[in-house]
Chain A
Amino acid sequence: MSTANSWRQIPQRYRLEAGKCVKCGKLFYPPRLVCDACGGRAFEMAKLPNTGKVVTYTVIRVPPTEQADLAPYAVGLVELDNGVRLECQVVDCDFEQLEVGTPVKLEFRRIQEDTEAGMIHYGHKAVPV
Chain B
Amino acid sequence: MRDVVIIGVGTTKFGELWESSLRDLAVEAALKAIDDAGCDRIDSLWVGCMSCGLFNGQEHLGALVADYLGRTPMPACRVESACASGGMALRAAWMEVACGQSDVVMALGVEKMTDVSGGKATYALAAASDREHEAFHGVTFPGLYALIAVDHMHRYGTTREQLADVSVKNHEHGSHNQYAQYPHKVTREQVMSSTMVADPLRVLDCSPISDGASAVIVAALDESRSLTKNALVKIAAIGAATDSLSLHQRKDLCEFAATIEAGERAFKTAKLSPSDIDVAEVHDCFTISEICVTEALGFFERGRGGPAASDGATRLGGKIPVNTSGGLKSKGHPVGATGIAQVYMLTKQLRGEAGPVQVKNARRALAQNMGGTGSSNVVTILESGS
Contacts and interface: CB of A to CB of B under 8 A. Distances in A.
B227 interface: no
Given A57-B147, A77-B147, A62 B197 contact: yes
A82 interface: no
Contact of A64 (B132, B135, B148, B199): B135
B198 A64 contact: no
B133 A58 contact: no
Contacts of A121: 136
B197 A87 contact: no
Interface residue range, chain A:
20 to 34
Nearest to B250: A85
B198 A59 contact: yes
B17 interface: no
Contacts of A60: 138-140, 143, 198
A86 B248 contact: yes
Interface in B118-152: 119-120, 122-123, 126, 132-140, 142-143, 146-151
Nearest to B134: A87
Given A63-B138, A75-B138, A87-B134, A56 B143 contact: no
A30 B324 CA distance: 41
A62 B119 contact: no
Contacts of A88: 137
B99 interface: no
A61 B198 contact: yes
Interface in A61-88: 61-68, 70, 73, 75-77, 85-88
A85 B138 CA distance: 17
Contacts of A56: 147-148, 150-151, 154, 253
A66 B135 CA distance: 10
Given A56-B253, A58-B199, A64-B126, A75 B139 contact: yes
Interface in B50-81: none
Interface in A20-57: 30, 55-57
A89 B137 CA distance: 6
A57 B137 CA distance: 13
B137 A123 contact: yes
Most buried by B among A61, A68, A86, A112: A61
Contacts of B195: 61
Contact of B198 (A30, A62, A111): A62
A2 to B, nearest CB: 12
10 contacts: A56-B151, A57-B150, A58-B147, A59-B199, A75-B138, A77-B247, A77-B253, A86-B133, A100-B151, A112-B138
Q: 5 tightest CB-CB pairs across the interface, nearest first?
A: A58-B146, A67-B138, A65-B119, A85-B248, A56-B151
Interface of A: 9, 30, 55-68, 70, 73, 75-77, 85-89, 95, 100, 111-112, 121, 123
Interface of B: 119-120, 122-123, 126, 132-140, 142-143, 146-151, 154, 195-201, 246-249, 253
